[in-house]
Amino acid sequence: MKILLTTTSYQDCPGDHHTLLQTTGAEIVRERGPLSEARMLEISGDFDAFLCGDDEITRAVIDKSLPKLKIIAKYGIGVDKIDVAYATEKEIPVSFCPGVNHTTVAEHVFMLLLALTKNLMEQANATAAGEWKRMTGHEIMGKTIGIIGLGRIGREVAIRANAFGMKCVGYDLYWPEDFAKEHNIERADGVTQLLRASEIVSLHTNLTAETRDMICAETINNMKDGAILINCGRGELTHTGDIAAALKSGKLGGYGADVLDQEPPPANHPLLGAKNCIITPHVGSRTYESVQRQARMATQNLVNLLKGEKALAQVNDVKPPAALIK
């Protein structure tokens, strides 16, 4: 039995997930993901299971992997890089790891926000270069933060925003009434109303056909002049060219993102070196604490499915395969 392991944080972080994976008795083939469709097509065909991150597991990759592939165990939450519908058609269970990284990502949101509002990068870099450059920043206390998507991460952002004395406005198709009341979150009627009301906007919605490029030139025009946008969701939620243009014009006062439409980005990516822009390399959930929780859950999902048992959390309604291990 062979398992393809691609997620780098899983491989690089110590923890008991390594021991649990060894209990499968499988040959573990390690790659440094995320892998493109082309690379997945090169190596697929001989694996019983994928333990994957944000690799492109398309219809073509699934076809190349059959009939041997029985399980796709996602390390993480987002499954937009996996053709879940086709995996379901081929009766391949797709597991995932909800509820393990929301605290870490919410902290990352505020790291980016504070760095932008306090001009951290420019001043720290200037000081390191021997220049004593003193700039005037902004407080976030009293500011309105608009949170698009009030799942686990969005809710943790709201909790921290309250602690900073911010006003919260939220939008979600599935409104968490009790949570919103408890944490004083005003409900926006739609994205446009939220954008118009907020000095800061934080994106925490899933990537779908409807949400792709949801922040673009048209929607940016609805934002306050100089507003700050934080994206720790998916890079494709924003239109890269329009974000770059809005930063250049000053319509956007800052953009902090842990995700891009191309990862890793090419050297000529429009947001690299853009004004008032901080990009981190998709590490919002990459703390030792979060990685160990996430890796343990991803591995337990895999082990359960290999035993013919239910995963702890599964995206699609597919029965486990016949047991491959005891």
Torsions phi, psi of 171, nearest 5?
-140, 130
Tokens standing for 161? 């925003």
Give me the number of domains the chain comprises. Answer: 2
Q: For the sheet containing 71-74, what is the strand order?
A: 27-30, 2-5, 49-52, 71-74, 94-95
Please give the Cα distance from 139 to 321 (Å, whole number). Answer: 54
DSSP class of 236:
G
Q: Which residues are catalytic?
A: 234, 263, 282
54 shares its domain with 172 = no
Tell me the whole-structure pTM to 2 decimals: 0.88
| Domain carrying residue 57 | 2-98+287-306
Longest C-alpha distance within the chain, in Å? Answer: 66
Residue with tokens 């499988």: 26
Tokens standing for 295? 């890796």
131 shares its domain with 73 = no
Q: What is the CATH number of the domain that holds 63?
A: 3.40.50.720
Q: pLDDT by residue for the chain (326 residues), tens digit each?
A: 999 999 999 999 999 999 999 999 999 999 999 999 999 999 999 999 999 999 999 999 999 999 999 999 999 988 999 999 999 999 999 999 998 999 999 999 999 999 999 999 999 999 999 999 999 999 999 999 999 999 999 999 999 999 999 999 999 999 999 999 999 999 999 999 999 999 999 999 999 999 999 999 999 999 999 999 999 999 999 999 999 999 999 999 999 999 999 999 999 999 999 999 999 999 999 999 999 999 999 999 999 999 999 999 999 999 999 999 98
- Look at residues 10, 3, 6, 19 and name the one whose alpha carbon lies nearest to residue 71: 3
136 shares its domain with 265 = yes
Residue length of the chain: 326
107 shares its domain with 6 = no
